[in-house]
A and B are shown apart, each in its own frame.
Chain A
Amino acid sequence: MNVIKNKFSSPYFVYSLLVSFLLLSSYIALFYGGPVSLDGSTVGNFIFWNIRLPKLIAAILIGASLSLSGYIFQTVLRNPLADPYILGISSGAALGVSVFLTIFTTLSTFGFELSAFLGAGVALILLILFYRMLMHNTVVMVLIGIGISFFFSSIITALMSYMEGDKIVYMNSWLIGNIAQPEYKELYMLLAVFAVVSSVILLMSNYLDVLQFGDDFARSSGVSSKFYSILFIILGSMLAASSVTVCGTMGFVGLVVPHVVRLIMKEKSSRMIPAVMLAGAGFLVFCSALAGMLSFRFDVPVGAITAFIGAPVLIYLIYKRYRGRAQ
Protein backbone atom coordinates (compact mmCIF):
# COMPACT_ATOMS: atom_id res chain seq x y z
CA MET A 1 0.00 0.00 0.00
CA ASN A 2 1.74 3.08 -1.24
CA VAL A 3 -0.52 5.91 -0.25
CA ILE A 4 1.01 9.34 -0.19
CA LYS A 5 -0.63 11.55 2.39
CA ASN A 6 -0.52 15.31 2.36
CA LYS A 7 0.57 16.10 5.88
CA PHE A 8 -1.13 19.49 5.88
CA SER A 9 -4.56 17.91 5.40
CA SER A 10 -3.93 15.11 7.86
CA PRO A 11 -6.61 15.27 10.59
CA TYR A 12 -4.11 15.59 13.42
CA PHE A 13 -2.47 18.61 11.86
CA VAL A 14 -5.89 20.22 11.43
CA TYR A 15 -6.85 19.34 15.03
CA SER A 16 -3.71 20.91 16.47
CA LEU A 17 -4.25 24.01 14.34
CA LEU A 18 -7.83 24.33 15.59
CA VAL A 19 -6.83 23.71 19.22
CA SER A 20 -4.26 26.50 19.01
CA PHE A 21 -6.88 28.81 17.50
CA LEU A 22 -9.30 27.95 20.31
CA LEU A 23 -6.67 28.50 23.02
CA LEU A 24 -5.59 31.83 21.54
CA SER A 25 -9.18 33.04 21.20
CA SER A 26 -9.92 31.92 24.77
CA TYR A 27 -6.94 33.87 26.08
CA ILE A 28 -8.10 37.01 24.27
CA ALA A 29 -11.67 36.50 25.46
CA LEU A 30 -10.61 36.08 29.08
CA PHE A 31 -8.11 38.90 29.38
CA TYR A 32 -8.95 41.41 26.66
CA GLY A 33 -12.59 40.59 25.98
CA GLY A 34 -14.24 43.79 27.17
CA PRO A 35 -13.93 47.40 28.25
CA VAL A 36 -12.68 46.42 31.74
CA SER A 37 -9.16 45.01 31.98
CA LEU A 38 -8.38 42.38 34.60
CA ASP A 39 -5.86 43.62 37.14
CA GLY A 40 -6.18 41.05 39.93
CA SER A 41 -8.29 43.37 42.11
CA THR A 42 -11.54 42.29 43.78
CA VAL A 43 -13.56 43.77 40.93
CA GLY A 44 -11.25 42.10 38.44
CA ASN A 45 -11.64 38.75 40.18
CA PHE A 46 -15.39 39.10 40.26
CA ILE A 47 -15.51 39.91 36.54
CA PHE A 48 -13.23 36.99 35.77
CA TRP A 49 -15.18 34.33 37.68
CA ASN A 50 -18.71 35.59 37.18
CA ILE A 51 -18.69 37.15 33.74
CA ARG A 52 -15.71 36.29 31.55
CA LEU A 53 -15.28 32.61 32.48
CA PRO A 54 -18.97 31.59 32.21
CA LYS A 55 -19.14 33.54 28.96
CA LEU A 56 -16.12 31.67 27.62
CA ILE A 57 -17.46 28.26 28.62
CA ALA A 58 -20.84 29.11 27.10
CA ALA A 59 -19.20 30.26 23.86
CA ILE A 60 -17.17 27.03 23.62
CA LEU A 61 -20.18 24.78 24.23
CA ILE A 62 -22.56 26.77 22.01
CA GLY A 63 -20.03 27.08 19.19
CA ALA A 64 -19.35 23.34 19.25
CA SER A 65 -23.06 22.46 19.53
CA LEU A 66 -24.26 24.75 16.75
CA SER A 67 -21.58 23.76 14.28
CA LEU A 68 -22.05 20.04 14.99
CA SER A 69 -25.78 20.53 14.55
CA GLY A 70 -25.17 22.26 11.21
CA TYR A 71 -22.81 19.48 10.13
CA ILE A 72 -25.43 16.84 10.95
CA PHE A 73 -28.20 18.66 9.06
CA GLN A 74 -26.00 19.31 6.03
CA THR A 75 -24.82 15.70 5.91
CA VAL A 76 -28.15 13.96 6.49
CA LEU A 77 -30.20 16.31 4.30
CA ARG A 78 -27.43 16.52 1.70
CA ASN A 79 -28.00 20.23 1.40
CA PRO A 80 -25.20 22.75 1.93
CA LEU A 81 -27.75 25.31 3.17
CA ALA A 82 -29.19 23.21 5.96
CA ASP A 83 -28.58 24.41 9.51
CA PRO A 84 -30.82 24.75 12.59
CA TYR A 85 -31.30 28.45 11.89
CA ILE A 86 -32.54 28.01 8.33
CA LEU A 87 -34.59 24.89 9.08
CA GLY A 88 -36.71 26.84 11.56
CA ILE A 89 -35.59 24.98 14.71
CA SER A 90 -34.08 28.18 16.13
CA SER A 91 -37.18 30.18 15.16
CA GLY A 92 -39.29 27.63 16.97
CA ALA A 93 -37.28 28.16 20.12
CA ALA A 94 -37.53 31.93 19.67
CA LEU A 95 -41.30 31.64 19.29
CA GLY A 96 -41.49 29.62 22.49
CA VAL A 97 -39.51 32.28 24.32
CA SER A 98 -41.57 35.19 22.99
CA VAL A 99 -44.81 33.45 23.94
CA PHE A 100 -43.37 32.93 27.42
CA LEU A 101 -42.27 36.58 27.70
CA THR A 102 -45.65 37.82 26.54
CA ILE A 103 -47.59 35.75 29.07
CA PHE A 104 -45.30 35.84 32.13
CA THR A 105 -43.62 38.81 33.73
CA THR A 106 -40.39 37.26 35.03
CA LEU A 107 -37.37 37.06 32.77
CA SER A 108 -35.22 34.30 34.19
CA THR A 109 -36.87 31.12 35.38
CA PHE A 110 -36.93 27.50 34.48
CA GLY A 111 -39.98 28.17 32.30
CA PHE A 112 -37.87 30.26 29.95
CA GLU A 113 -35.68 27.31 28.95
CA LEU A 114 -38.63 24.94 28.87
CA SER A 115 -40.55 27.21 26.50
CA ALA A 116 -37.56 27.42 24.17
CA PHE A 117 -37.25 23.63 24.09
CA LEU A 118 -41.01 23.27 23.52
CA GLY A 119 -40.91 25.80 20.68
CA ALA A 120 -37.98 24.01 19.03
CA GLY A 121 -39.87 20.74 19.51
CA VAL A 122 -42.95 22.10 17.71
CA ALA A 123 -40.78 23.23 14.79
CA LEU A 124 -39.04 19.85 14.73
CA ILE A 125 -42.32 17.90 14.74
CA LEU A 126 -43.65 20.06 11.88
CA LEU A 127 -40.44 19.46 9.96
CA ILE A 128 -40.53 15.68 10.46
CA LEU A 129 -44.24 15.50 9.58
CA PHE A 130 -43.56 17.25 6.29
CA TYR A 131 -40.51 15.05 5.76
CA ARG A 132 -42.69 11.95 6.05
CA MET A 133 -45.52 13.38 3.96
CA LEU A 134 -43.14 14.37 1.18
CA MET A 135 -41.87 10.80 0.72
CA HIS A 136 -38.70 11.59 2.66
CA ASN A 137 -37.54 14.08 0.07
CA THR A 138 -34.56 15.69 1.75
CA VAL A 139 -34.11 18.48 -0.80
CA VAL A 140 -37.56 19.92 -0.19
CA MET A 141 -36.98 19.82 3.58
CA VAL A 142 -34.88 22.98 3.51
CA LEU A 143 -37.60 24.88 1.64
CA ILE A 144 -40.20 23.71 4.17
CA GLY A 145 -37.87 24.77 6.99
CA ILE A 146 -37.46 28.25 5.50
CA GLY A 147 -41.25 28.50 5.31
CA ILE A 148 -41.65 27.45 8.96
CA SER A 149 -38.94 29.90 9.96
CA PHE A 150 -40.63 32.88 8.26
CA PHE A 151 -44.04 31.91 9.63
CA PHE A 152 -42.73 31.79 13.20
CA SER A 153 -40.84 35.07 12.75
CA SER A 154 -44.07 36.81 11.76
CA ILE A 155 -45.76 35.60 14.98
CA ILE A 156 -42.74 36.74 17.02
CA THR A 157 -42.92 40.21 15.49
CA ALA A 158 -46.61 40.46 16.29
CA LEU A 159 -46.07 39.23 19.88
CA MET A 160 -43.30 41.77 20.44
CA SER A 161 -45.80 44.60 20.08
CA TYR A 162 -47.45 43.32 23.27
CA MET A 163 -44.20 43.36 25.27
CA GLU A 164 -42.91 46.05 27.58
CA GLY A 165 -39.79 48.16 27.01
CA ASP A 166 -37.00 46.16 28.62
CA LYS A 167 -38.34 42.90 27.22
CA ILE A 168 -38.26 44.30 23.69
CA VAL A 169 -34.62 45.28 24.12
CA TYR A 170 -33.91 41.81 25.51
CA MET A 171 -35.86 40.12 22.72
CA ASN A 172 -34.06 42.16 20.04
CA SER A 173 -30.62 41.17 21.24
CA TRP A 174 -31.83 37.59 21.70
CA LEU A 175 -33.09 37.39 18.12
CA ILE A 176 -29.67 38.42 16.82
CA GLY A 177 -27.97 36.01 19.19
CA ASN A 178 -26.11 37.08 22.29
CA ILE A 179 -24.16 35.44 25.11
CA ALA A 180 -24.86 38.08 27.75
CA GLN A 181 -24.43 36.72 31.25
CA PRO A 182 -24.85 32.98 31.32
CA GLU A 183 -25.63 31.50 34.72
CA TYR A 184 -23.86 28.36 35.88
CA LYS A 185 -27.08 26.31 35.76
CA GLU A 186 -27.33 27.18 32.06
CA LEU A 187 -23.77 26.00 31.56
CA TYR A 188 -24.57 22.65 33.23
CA MET A 189 -27.57 22.22 30.92
CA LEU A 190 -25.45 23.07 27.84
CA LEU A 191 -22.70 20.72 28.94
CA ALA A 192 -25.07 17.83 29.70
CA VAL A 193 -26.87 18.04 26.33
CA PHE A 194 -23.62 18.54 24.45
CA ALA A 195 -21.80 15.66 26.16
CA VAL A 196 -24.62 13.15 25.69
CA VAL A 197 -25.65 14.10 22.14
CA SER A 198 -22.15 14.50 20.72
CA SER A 199 -21.08 11.11 22.17
CA VAL A 200 -24.10 9.42 20.61
CA ILE A 201 -23.35 11.10 17.28
CA LEU A 202 -19.68 10.09 17.44
CA LEU A 203 -20.58 6.49 18.25
CA MET A 204 -22.97 6.41 15.30
CA SER A 205 -20.78 8.36 12.89
CA ASN A 206 -20.48 5.43 10.50
CA TYR A 207 -24.22 5.69 9.85
CA LEU A 208 -23.65 9.30 8.79
CA ASP A 209 -21.01 8.14 6.30
CA VAL A 210 -23.59 5.91 4.62
CA LEU A 211 -26.49 8.38 4.84
CA GLN A 212 -24.56 11.16 3.12
CA PHE A 213 -24.83 9.30 -0.20
CA GLY A 214 -28.61 9.44 -0.23
CA ASP A 215 -31.59 7.28 0.68
CA ASP A 216 -31.18 4.73 -2.12
CA PHE A 217 -27.53 4.14 -1.36
CA ALA A 218 -28.16 3.92 2.39
CA ARG A 219 -30.99 1.39 2.12
CA SER A 220 -29.10 -0.83 -0.32
CA SER A 221 -26.05 -0.66 1.95
CA GLY A 222 -27.94 -1.79 5.06
CA VAL A 223 -29.13 1.44 6.71
CA SER A 224 -32.79 2.25 7.21
CA SER A 225 -32.56 5.80 5.91
CA LYS A 226 -36.00 6.84 7.15
CA PHE A 227 -35.30 5.87 10.76
CA TYR A 228 -31.73 7.11 11.00
CA SER A 229 -32.33 10.39 9.13
CA ILE A 230 -35.04 11.30 11.62
CA LEU A 231 -32.88 10.16 14.55
CA PHE A 232 -30.00 12.38 13.44
CA ILE A 233 -32.35 15.31 12.81
CA ILE A 234 -33.67 14.95 16.38
CA LEU A 235 -30.12 14.81 17.80
CA GLY A 236 -29.08 17.88 15.81
CA SER A 237 -32.18 19.74 16.95
CA MET A 238 -31.43 18.95 20.60
CA LEU A 239 -28.01 20.57 20.24
CA ALA A 240 -29.56 23.59 18.55
CA ALA A 241 -32.36 23.96 21.09
CA SER A 242 -30.02 23.83 24.10
CA SER A 243 -27.81 26.51 22.51
CA VAL A 244 -30.69 28.73 21.51
CA THR A 245 -32.09 28.81 25.06
CA VAL A 246 -28.83 30.38 26.22
CA CYS A 247 -27.75 32.56 23.33
CA GLY A 248 -30.82 33.17 21.20
CA THR A 249 -31.05 32.61 17.47
CA MET A 250 -27.42 32.80 16.46
CA GLY A 251 -26.92 32.52 12.73
CA PHE A 252 -23.97 31.53 10.55
CA VAL A 253 -22.11 29.36 13.08
CA GLY A 254 -23.91 26.15 12.07
CA LEU A 255 -23.92 27.17 8.43
CA VAL A 256 -20.37 28.40 7.80
CA VAL A 257 -18.15 26.40 10.16
CA PRO A 258 -18.83 22.94 8.63
CA HIS A 259 -18.17 24.37 5.16
CA VAL A 260 -14.82 25.81 6.19
CA VAL A 261 -13.81 22.50 7.80
CA ARG A 262 -14.89 20.58 4.68
CA LEU A 263 -12.66 22.89 2.68
CA ILE A 264 -9.53 21.94 4.64
CA MET A 265 -10.22 18.24 5.17
CA LYS A 266 -12.19 15.51 3.44
CA GLU A 267 -12.47 12.70 5.91
CA LYS A 268 -15.05 10.29 7.23
CA SER A 269 -17.48 11.68 9.80
CA SER A 270 -15.71 10.31 12.87
CA ARG A 271 -12.72 12.49 11.97
CA MET A 272 -14.69 15.47 10.67
CA ILE A 273 -16.83 15.82 13.81
CA PRO A 274 -13.99 16.71 16.26
CA ALA A 275 -12.65 19.26 13.79
CA VAL A 276 -16.10 20.77 13.27
CA MET A 277 -16.66 21.06 17.03
CA LEU A 278 -13.22 22.60 17.65
CA ALA A 279 -13.62 25.06 14.79
CA GLY A 280 -17.10 26.07 15.96
CA ALA A 281 -15.91 26.62 19.52
CA GLY A 282 -12.91 28.65 18.36
CA PHE A 283 -14.99 30.73 15.98
CA LEU A 284 -17.63 31.65 18.55
CA VAL A 285 -15.08 32.41 21.28
CA PHE A 286 -13.24 34.65 18.83
CA CYS A 287 -16.46 36.45 17.83
CA SER A 288 -17.48 36.82 21.46
CA ALA A 289 -14.11 38.34 22.35
CA LEU A 290 -14.41 40.71 19.41
CA ALA A 291 -17.94 41.68 20.46
CA GLY A 292 -16.65 42.43 23.96
CA MET A 293 -13.89 44.67 22.62
CA LEU A 294 -16.24 46.53 20.25
CA SER A 295 -18.92 47.14 22.89
CA PHE A 296 -19.15 50.81 23.80
CA ARG A 297 -22.48 52.25 24.97
CA PHE A 298 -24.24 48.90 25.01
CA ASP A 299 -23.29 45.28 24.32
CA VAL A 300 -22.71 44.38 20.69
CA PRO A 301 -24.56 41.05 20.32
CA VAL A 302 -22.22 38.19 19.32
CA GLY A 303 -24.73 37.23 16.61
CA ALA A 304 -23.92 40.50 14.84
CA ILE A 305 -20.22 39.57 14.79
CA THR A 306 -20.80 35.96 13.65
CA ALA A 307 -22.89 37.32 10.78
CA PHE A 308 -20.36 40.08 10.03
CA ILE A 309 -17.57 37.51 9.67
CA GLY A 310 -19.66 34.53 8.60
CA ALA A 311 -21.56 36.13 5.74
CA PRO A 312 -18.47 37.26 3.76
CA VAL A 313 -16.83 33.87 4.39
CA LEU A 314 -19.95 32.14 3.07
CA ILE A 315 -20.01 34.33 -0.03
CA TYR A 316 -16.32 33.67 -0.59
CA LEU A 317 -16.81 29.89 -0.26
CA ILE A 318 -19.69 29.93 -2.73
CA TYR A 319 -17.68 32.10 -5.11
CA LYS A 320 -14.68 29.78 -4.89
CA ARG A 321 -16.75 26.66 -5.39
CA TYR A 322 -18.86 27.85 -8.31
CA ARG A 323 -16.38 30.15 -10.05
CA GLY A 324 -15.96 29.04 -13.64
CA ARG A 325 -18.90 26.68 -13.42
CA ALA A 326 -21.44 29.25 -14.57
CA GLN A 327 -23.14 28.45 -17.85
Chain B
Amino acid sequence: MLKISELNIVRGGFNLYLDKLGFNSGSMNIILGPNGGGKTTFLKSLAGILDHKGTVLVDDSNVGDKSFKDRAKIFGYMPQGISLSQVYVKDFLVLGRFPYTGVFSRYAKSDWEKVYTTAEDFNLTHYLMRDITTLSQGELQRVLLAKVFIQEPKVLLLDEPTASLDLGFKEIIKAQIYKYMEINKGRVVVLSTHEPNIFSERTDNMVMLKNGRVFMSGKYSEVYNSDNIKGLFDLTHAPYLS
Protein backbone atom coordinates (compact mmCIF):
# COMPACT_ATOMS: atom_id res chain seq x y z
CA MET B 1 0.00 0.00 0.00
CA LEU B 2 2.81 2.40 0.96
CA LYS B 3 5.86 2.15 -1.30
CA ILE B 4 9.00 4.21 -0.84
CA SER B 5 11.87 4.29 -3.30
CA GLU B 6 15.11 6.23 -3.24
CA LEU B 7 13.97 8.53 -0.47
CA ASN B 8 16.83 10.94 0.10
CA ILE B 9 17.29 13.78 2.59
CA VAL B 10 20.39 15.74 3.46
CA ARG B 11 20.25 17.78 6.65
CA GLY B 12 23.53 19.30 7.72
CA GLY B 13 26.00 16.42 7.90
CA PHE B 14 23.25 13.80 8.13
CA ASN B 15 22.01 11.87 5.14
CA LEU B 16 18.97 9.59 5.10
CA TYR B 17 18.78 7.32 2.10
CA LEU B 18 16.19 4.55 1.83
CA ASP B 19 16.47 2.53 -1.36
CA LYS B 20 13.26 0.52 -1.19
CA LEU B 21 10.68 0.04 1.54
CA GLY B 22 7.11 -1.24 1.41
CA PHE B 23 4.34 -1.32 4.00
CA ASN B 24 1.27 -3.50 3.62
CA SER B 25 -2.29 -2.39 4.11
CA GLY B 26 -3.45 -2.92 7.68
CA SER B 27 0.02 -3.57 9.00
CA MET B 28 1.72 -2.41 12.18
CA ASN B 29 5.34 -1.46 11.59
CA ILE B 30 8.00 -0.51 14.07
CA ILE B 31 11.03 1.63 13.32
CA LEU B 32 13.90 0.79 15.65
CA GLY B 33 17.33 2.29 15.83
CA PRO B 34 19.85 4.30 17.82
CA ASN B 35 19.34 7.99 18.54
CA GLY B 36 20.28 10.02 15.49
CA GLY B 37 19.73 7.01 13.24
CA GLY B 38 17.08 8.75 11.15
CA LYS B 39 13.77 7.58 12.67
CA THR B 40 12.27 11.03 13.17
CA THR B 41 13.69 12.31 9.87
CA PHE B 42 12.04 9.39 8.09
CA LEU B 43 8.64 9.98 9.67
CA LYS B 44 8.84 13.74 9.13
CA SER B 45 9.71 13.33 5.47
CA LEU B 46 6.68 11.08 4.92
CA ALA B 47 4.48 13.60 6.75
CA GLY B 48 5.63 16.33 4.35
CA ILE B 49 7.38 18.31 7.07
CA LEU B 50 10.82 17.85 5.50
CA ASP B 51 11.36 18.24 1.78
CA HIS B 52 12.85 15.12 0.26
CA LYS B 53 13.89 13.53 -3.00
CA GLY B 54 12.57 10.17 -4.21
CA THR B 55 9.08 8.81 -4.63
CA VAL B 56 6.46 7.91 -2.06
CA LEU B 57 3.51 5.97 -3.46
CA VAL B 58 0.30 5.39 -1.53
CA ASP B 59 -2.19 3.10 -3.28
CA ASP B 60 -0.09 3.64 -6.42
CA SER B 61 -0.53 7.42 -6.48
CA ASN B 62 2.45 9.71 -5.99
CA VAL B 63 2.25 11.69 -2.76
CA GLY B 64 4.83 14.22 -3.92
CA ASP B 65 2.35 15.85 -6.33
CA LYS B 66 -0.26 16.48 -3.67
CA SER B 67 -1.05 19.68 -1.80
CA PHE B 68 -0.38 19.95 1.93
CA LYS B 69 -4.07 19.48 2.65
CA ASP B 70 -4.33 16.30 0.57
CA ARG B 71 -1.10 14.97 2.02
CA ALA B 72 -2.47 15.48 5.54
CA LYS B 73 -5.44 13.28 4.63
CA ILE B 74 -3.01 10.46 3.81
CA PHE B 75 -0.37 10.91 6.51
CA GLY B 76 -1.08 11.82 10.12
CA TYR B 77 2.00 12.65 12.18
CA MET B 78 2.19 12.54 15.95
CA PRO B 79 5.26 14.51 17.03
CA GLN B 80 7.45 13.77 20.05
CA GLY B 81 6.88 17.24 21.37
CA ILE B 82 5.20 20.43 20.28
CA SER B 83 5.59 24.11 21.03
CA LEU B 84 2.30 24.82 22.74
CA SER B 85 0.10 27.90 22.69
CA GLN B 86 -2.67 28.62 25.15
CA VAL B 87 -5.84 27.16 23.66
CA TYR B 88 -8.59 24.86 24.88
CA VAL B 89 -8.05 21.18 24.16
CA LYS B 90 -11.18 21.11 21.97
CA ASP B 91 -9.83 23.92 19.78
CA PHE B 92 -6.58 21.98 19.42
CA LEU B 93 -8.27 18.70 18.56
CA VAL B 94 -10.43 20.23 15.83
CA LEU B 95 -7.24 21.17 13.97
CA GLY B 96 -7.16 17.51 12.98
CA ARG B 97 -10.13 18.29 10.70
CA PHE B 98 -8.28 21.13 8.95
CA PRO B 99 -7.35 19.05 5.85
CA TYR B 100 -11.06 18.40 5.23
CA THR B 101 -12.17 22.05 5.33
CA GLY B 102 -13.00 24.21 2.32
CA VAL B 103 -11.76 27.57 1.05
CA PHE B 104 -11.96 29.59 4.25
CA SER B 105 -11.35 26.50 6.36
CA ARG B 106 -14.48 26.67 8.52
CA TYR B 107 -15.24 23.59 10.58
CA ALA B 108 -18.56 21.87 9.97
CA LYS B 109 -20.80 20.36 12.62
CA SER B 110 -19.65 16.90 11.58
CA ASP B 111 -16.05 17.95 12.30
CA TRP B 112 -16.97 18.88 15.86
CA GLU B 113 -18.91 15.63 16.28
CA LYS B 114 -15.77 13.75 15.26
CA VAL B 115 -13.85 15.68 17.93
CA TYR B 116 -16.41 14.89 20.64
CA THR B 117 -16.76 11.19 19.83
CA THR B 118 -12.99 10.71 19.66
CA ALA B 119 -12.54 12.61 22.92
CA GLU B 120 -15.13 10.37 24.54
CA ASP B 121 -13.33 7.33 23.21
CA PHE B 122 -10.08 8.61 24.71
CA ASN B 123 -11.71 9.53 28.04
CA LEU B 124 -10.75 13.11 27.32
CA THR B 125 -14.22 14.65 27.54
CA HIS B 126 -13.55 16.42 30.83
CA TYR B 127 -10.31 17.85 29.39
CA LEU B 128 -11.98 19.57 26.42
CA MET B 129 -12.25 22.95 28.15
CA ARG B 130 -8.80 22.72 29.73
CA ASP B 131 -5.95 24.98 28.60
CA ILE B 132 -3.65 22.63 26.69
CA THR B 133 -0.53 24.16 28.26
CA THR B 134 -1.64 22.95 31.69
CA LEU B 135 -1.79 19.23 30.76
CA SER B 136 0.68 16.68 32.13
CA GLN B 137 2.96 14.78 29.76
CA GLY B 138 0.73 11.71 29.78
CA GLU B 139 -2.41 13.73 29.12
CA LEU B 140 -0.70 15.69 26.34
CA GLN B 141 0.48 12.51 24.57
CA ARG B 142 -3.11 11.25 24.56
CA VAL B 143 -4.34 14.56 23.14
CA LEU B 144 -1.67 14.48 20.42
CA LEU B 145 -2.66 10.90 19.51
CA ALA B 146 -6.35 11.82 19.51
CA LYS B 147 -5.62 14.70 17.12
CA VAL B 148 -3.99 12.27 14.66
CA PHE B 149 -6.98 9.90 14.91
CA ILE B 150 -9.37 12.81 14.29
CA GLN B 151 -7.35 13.55 11.15
CA GLU B 152 -8.32 10.05 9.87
CA PRO B 153 -5.19 9.48 7.82
CA LYS B 154 -4.50 6.32 5.82
CA VAL B 155 -1.04 6.07 7.35
CA LEU B 156 -0.38 6.93 10.99
CA LEU B 157 3.16 8.11 11.67
CA LEU B 158 3.73 7.94 15.41
CA ASP B 159 7.03 9.28 16.72
CA GLU B 160 7.79 7.57 20.03
CA PRO B 161 4.19 7.76 21.26
CA THR B 162 4.98 6.09 24.58
CA ALA B 163 8.23 7.85 25.41
CA SER B 164 8.52 9.16 28.99
CA LEU B 165 5.11 7.84 30.01
CA ASP B 166 4.32 5.73 33.05
CA LEU B 167 3.18 2.12 32.62
CA GLY B 168 -0.50 3.02 32.84
CA PHE B 169 -0.34 5.63 30.11
CA LYS B 170 1.78 3.32 27.91
CA GLU B 171 -0.98 0.71 28.09
CA ILE B 172 -3.68 3.30 27.33
CA ILE B 173 -1.81 4.58 24.26
CA LYS B 174 -1.20 1.02 23.06
CA ALA B 175 -4.85 0.05 23.53
CA GLN B 176 -6.00 3.12 21.58
CA ILE B 177 -3.72 2.34 18.65
CA TYR B 178 -4.88 -1.30 18.51
CA LYS B 179 -8.52 -0.29 18.77
CA TYR B 180 -8.12 2.23 15.97
CA MET B 181 -6.56 -0.43 13.73
CA GLU B 182 -9.38 -2.85 14.48
CA ILE B 183 -12.17 -0.35 13.75
CA ASN B 184 -10.49 1.19 10.72
CA LYS B 185 -9.33 -1.81 8.72
CA GLY B 186 -6.57 -1.24 6.22
CA ARG B 187 -4.85 1.67 7.99
CA VAL B 188 -1.09 1.47 8.21
CA VAL B 189 0.76 2.32 11.42
CA VAL B 190 4.42 3.28 11.26
CA LEU B 191 5.71 3.77 14.78
CA SER B 192 9.15 4.63 16.06
CA THR B 193 10.03 3.53 19.55
CA HIS B 194 12.85 2.47 21.82
CA GLU B 195 10.59 -0.07 23.52
CA PRO B 196 9.36 -2.45 20.78
CA ASN B 197 8.38 -5.05 23.39
CA ILE B 198 5.33 -2.96 24.31
CA PHE B 199 3.83 -3.58 20.89
CA SER B 200 5.09 -7.15 20.39
CA GLU B 201 1.59 -8.75 20.15
CA ARG B 202 0.51 -6.82 17.10
CA THR B 203 3.71 -5.83 15.31
CA ASP B 204 3.96 -7.23 11.78
CA ASN B 205 7.20 -5.77 10.49
CA MET B 206 10.26 -4.03 11.77
CA VAL B 207 12.64 -1.63 10.06
CA MET B 208 15.99 -1.06 11.72
CA LEU B 209 17.55 2.30 10.88
CA LYS B 210 21.20 3.08 11.53
CA ASN B 211 23.20 6.08 10.28
CA GLY B 212 20.43 6.99 7.87
CA ARG B 213 20.35 3.59 6.16
CA VAL B 214 18.19 0.48 6.55
CA PHE B 215 20.24 -1.86 8.72
CA MET B 216 17.71 -4.69 8.57
CA SER B 217 14.05 -5.00 7.73
CA GLY B 218 11.46 -7.76 7.58
CA LYS B 219 8.98 -9.70 9.66
CA TYR B 220 9.12 -8.71 13.32
CA SER B 221 9.58 -12.29 14.54
CA GLU B 222 12.50 -12.85 12.20
CA VAL B 223 14.31 -9.54 12.48
CA TYR B 224 13.97 -8.74 16.18
CA ASN B 225 16.67 -10.90 17.71
CA SER B 226 19.72 -10.33 19.86
CA ASP B 227 22.23 -10.61 17.02
CA ASN B 228 20.56 -7.86 15.04
CA ILE B 229 20.20 -5.66 18.13
CA LYS B 230 23.88 -6.07 18.94
CA GLY B 231 24.72 -4.97 15.41
CA LEU B 232 22.20 -2.17 15.33
CA PHE B 233 23.41 -0.57 18.56
CA ASP B 234 27.10 -1.57 18.22
CA LEU B 235 27.03 -3.67 21.36
CA THR B 236 30.32 -5.52 21.53
CA HIS B 237 29.86 -6.47 25.13
CA ALA B 238 26.27 -7.21 26.20
CA PRO B 239 26.34 -10.20 28.51
CA TYR B 240 22.74 -9.84 29.71
CA LEU B 241 21.09 -9.43 26.31
CA SER B 242 19.10 -12.51 25.42
| A interface residue numbers (CB < 8 A to B) | 1-5, 75, 78, 203-204, 206-207, 209-210, 212-217, 219-224, 262, 266-268
Contact = CB atoms under 8 A, between A and B. Distances in A.
Interface of B: 44, 47-49, 67-73, 75-77, 79, 82-88, 91-92, 95-96, 98-99, 101, 104-107, 116, 125, 128-129, 131, 151
A209 B131 contact: no
Contact of A220 (B49, B86, B107): B49
Contact of B116 (A1, A75, A204): A1
A222 B85 contact: no
B86 A219 contact: no
Contact of B49 (A2, A210, A219): A219
B116 A266 contact: no
Contact of B86 (A5, A223, A266): A266
A200 to B, nearest CB: 10
A266 B131 contact: yes
Nearest to A203: B104
Given A217-B82, A267-B91, A222 B129 contact: no
The dominant DSSP class at the A interface is loop
Nearest to B79: A216
Which of A209, A210, A267: most chain B Cβ within 10 A? Answer: A209
B133 to A, nearest CB: 9
A215 B88 CA distance: 20
Contacts of B99: 221-222
Contacts, number: 85
Given A206-B101, A219-B49, A222-B69, A3 B129 contact: yes
A206 B86 contact: no
Contacts of B67: 222
A3 B79 CA distance: 28
B77 to A, nearest CB: 4
Given A1-B116, A213-B83, 7 more contacts: A203-B104, A209-B91, A216-B77, A216-B82, A217-B82, A221-B95, A266-B87
A214 to B, nearest CB: 5
B118 to A, nearest CB: 13
A206 B131 contact: no
Contacts of B77: 216, 220
B88 A216 contact: no
A77 to B, nearest CB: 11
Contacts of B48: 219-220
A96 B49 CA distance: 38
B98 A220 contact: no
B79 A210 contact: no
Contacts of B69: 222-223
A318 to B, nearest CB: 16
What 3 pairs across the A-B complex have the smallest Cβ distances? A222-B72, A222-B99, A220-B77
B86 A262 contact: yes
B87 A268 contact: yes
A207 B103 CA distance: 11
Contacts of B71: 222
A220 B75 contact: yes
B72 A217 contact: no
A271 to B, nearest CB: 9
11 contacts: A3-B128, A78-B83, A206-B98, A207-B105, A210-B95, A214-B82, A222-B71, A222-B73, A223-B68, A223-B69, A266-B131
Contacts of A4: 129
Contacts of A220: 44, 47-49, 72, 75-77, 79
Contacts of B128: 3
Given A219-B48, A220-B72, A220-B76, A206 B105 contact: yes
Contacts of A209: 87, 91, 95
B98 A222 contact: yes
A204 B79 contact: no
Which of B68, B72, B88: most chain A Cβ within 10 A? Answer: B68
B76 A204 contact: no
B88 A266 contact: yes
A211 to B, nearest CB: 10
B104 A206 contact: yes
Contacts of A224: 68
Contacts of B70: 222
A15 to B, nearest CB: 18
A5 B129 contact: yes
B66 to A, nearest CB: 10
A246 to B, nearest CB: 30
A123 to B, nearest CB: 26
A131 to B, nearest CB: 17
Which of B98, B116, B128: most chain A Cβ within 10 A? Answer: B98
Contacts of B49: 215-216, 219-220
Contacts of A3: 128-129
Contact of A222 (B44, B68, B107): B68
